[in-house]
Structure 1
Amino acid sequence: MAEPTRPGEARIRRFSLRLLVGAAVAGTGLVLILTIGVTRPGEEPAVSPPAAAARTVEPPPAATAPPPGRAAPEDRPRESDLAALDAWSNEVASATKLPARLLAGYGRAEMWMRAEWSGCHLSWATLAAIGQAEAVGTGPLPVPEEIWKQWAARAGGDGKPPDPADVDDAALTVARSLCSTGADLATAQGWWGAILGTPALAPQARLIFDTATTLAAAAPR
């Protein structure tokens, strides 16, 4: 026969259960750290940004998303991806006539987003098109102040603060902003919503779309 519960025991057990559940919920916040291939041994790993509220901007009638073009290299969590990224950026630079250093930054941001936000499907071609629309030339993407304040991140994982003059940091920051709603940028709804929902990019949306399409076609898979 089971021993009867003494007065007060039930209350203590319920309180203990609530503490355990609360600790478990708090613990899930720790499962945000991701190590991806562009984070070399000894560097600080990436942390997934929090999802923002979905944008409600509708795409133009019959709109499509730009094709992705040739994907950046696959992430290799336990070894450096730099050689593969350099080879990829040089090949894409030859096809698109864009600087390889810029393309490496765009490709690195695409790789990070695969790990941090796998459902975003952001292509380097969109980042490159934004850079072209903003007349970057051979420098980093211009990042609007409001985007930098909310989404700035250090792409190298070296513990230093993000730098808007750094090609990789700027590309990663814009990528995080575009993926922040959790939308799928491989779809018309997701892509146009991300671009049109960003005030600094909305006026250039059509140019960004056309440029991304041209770049993707120039560097096929």
Structure 2
Amino acid sequence: MAEPTQPGDARIRRFSSRLLLGAAVTGTGLVLILTIGVTRPAEAPRPVVSQPAVATGTLEAPPGATAPRPARAAPQDRPRESDRKALDAWSTEVAGATGLPPRVLTGYGRAEMWMRGEWPGCHLSWATLAAIGEASAVGSGPLRVPEETWKQWAARATRDGRQADPADIDDAALTTARSLCSTGADLATAPGWWAAITGAPALAPAARHVFDIATNLAGAAPR
């Protein structure tokens, strides 16, 4: 026969149940906190190259400004075979007319080729990259790339699995190209070209100089 339940016993049991439930919830929370705390955060994703951000806060093109004169295009990318021979022939011919070193032109030409695939609407010309290189010929490397730009857009141009090198003209040119095309601007147009150049703090003060050099190089290169 069960003993009669005292009035206080029910209250004690209800209090004990609430205490146990609270402890269980608290314990679950601690487990979650500890689990989250020791889980290594995922690496920040690289910018999505197929959806470039539209440039903001950039200066407008000066009244009456145009885009640099169109330059002779670099060779077409051929995914199933080496581009080296075509690039070498192209850079040698352009070098003879512009006075730029063939090796440097190969880097600029390859960057133009890659951008046709990554950002087909960018229409970046090697002449703009060459003009940037000539206008910023001081500092380290063949094409000076600001540190923040390098951190965000650095890429290995030869796709050989090695780490990108700021002292390598191919990598420096491709990194600069990716940064310019990431604005979402069409560099074949005056608004797009000036937005991309003036939107880069390191290039904005020399925008007119870069424009003049790009135009002169495009005009000197053989058709």
TM-score (norm: length of structure 2) = 0.75
- From 187, 190, 193, the equivalent of 2:192 is 190
The AA in structure 1 aligned to 2:62 is P
Q: For residue 81 of structure 2, what is the aligned residue in structure 1? A: 79
SS of residue matched to 1:155: coil
Q: For residue 55 of structure 2, what is the aligned residue in structure 1? A: 54
Q: For residue 161 of structure 2, what is the aligned residue in structure 1? A: 159
Q: For residue 40 of structure 2, what is the aligned residue in structure 1? A: none
- From 207, 211, 214, the equivalent of 1:212 is 214
Relative to structure 1, the CA distance from residue 97 to residue 86 in structure 2 (aligned partners, 3 Å threshold; closer, same or farther) is same
SS of residue matched to 1:210: helix
Offset at residue 220 of structure 1 (A): 3.7
More helix by share: 2
The AA in structure 2 aligned to 1:208 is V
The AA in structure 2 aligned to 1:73 is P
Q: Which runs of 5+ in 1 are unaligned?
A: 1-46
| Separation (CA, whole Å) in 2 of partners of 1:91 and 1:147 | 31
SS of residue matched to 2:68: coil
Which is higher, the Rg of structure 1 or of structure 2? 2
The AA in structure 2 aligned to 1:48 is V
Q: For residue 23 of structure 2, what is the aligned residue in structure 1? A: none
Q: For residue 29 of structure 2, what is the aligned residue in structure 1? A: none
Asked if the contact 2:94–2:222 (Cα under 8 Å) also holds between the matched residues in 1, the reply is no
TM-score (norm: length of structure 1) = 0.76
* Count of paired positions: 175
Relative to structure 1, the CA distance from residue 83 to residue 102 in structure 2 (aligned partners, 3 Å threshold; closer, same or farther) is same
| Separation (CA, whole Å) in 1 of partners of 2:79 and 2:60 | 37
Percentage of matched positions with identical amino acids: 75
- From 169, 176, 179, the equivalent of 1:177 is 179
Offset at residue 137 of structure 1 (A): 10
| Separation (CA, whole Å) in 2 of partners of 1:143 and 1:131 | 9
| Separation (CA, whole Å) in 1 of partners of 2:140 and 2:71 | 21
Structural RMSD (CA): 1.7
User: CA deviation digits over 1:183-203, x for unaligned, max 9?
Assistant: 100000000000000000001
Asked if the contact 2:55–2:196 (Cα under 8 Å) also holds between the matched residues in 1, the reply is no
Relative to structure 1, the CA distance from residue 73 to residue 136 in structure 2 (aligned partners, 3 Å threshold; closer, same or farther) is farther
The AA in structure 1 aligned to 2:208 is R
Residues 1-221 of structure 1 aligned to structure 2 (within 5 Å): 48=49, 50-55=51-56, 56-135=58-137, 140-221=142-223
Relative to structure 1, the CA distance from residue 101 to residue 49 in structure 2 (aligned partners, 3 Å threshold; closer, same or farther) is farther
| Separation (CA, whole Å) in 1 of partners of 2:134 and 2:219 | 16
Q: Which runs of 5+ in 2 are unaligned?
A: 1-47
Asked if the contact 1:102–1:167 (Cα under 8 Å) also holds between the matched residues in 2, the reply is yes
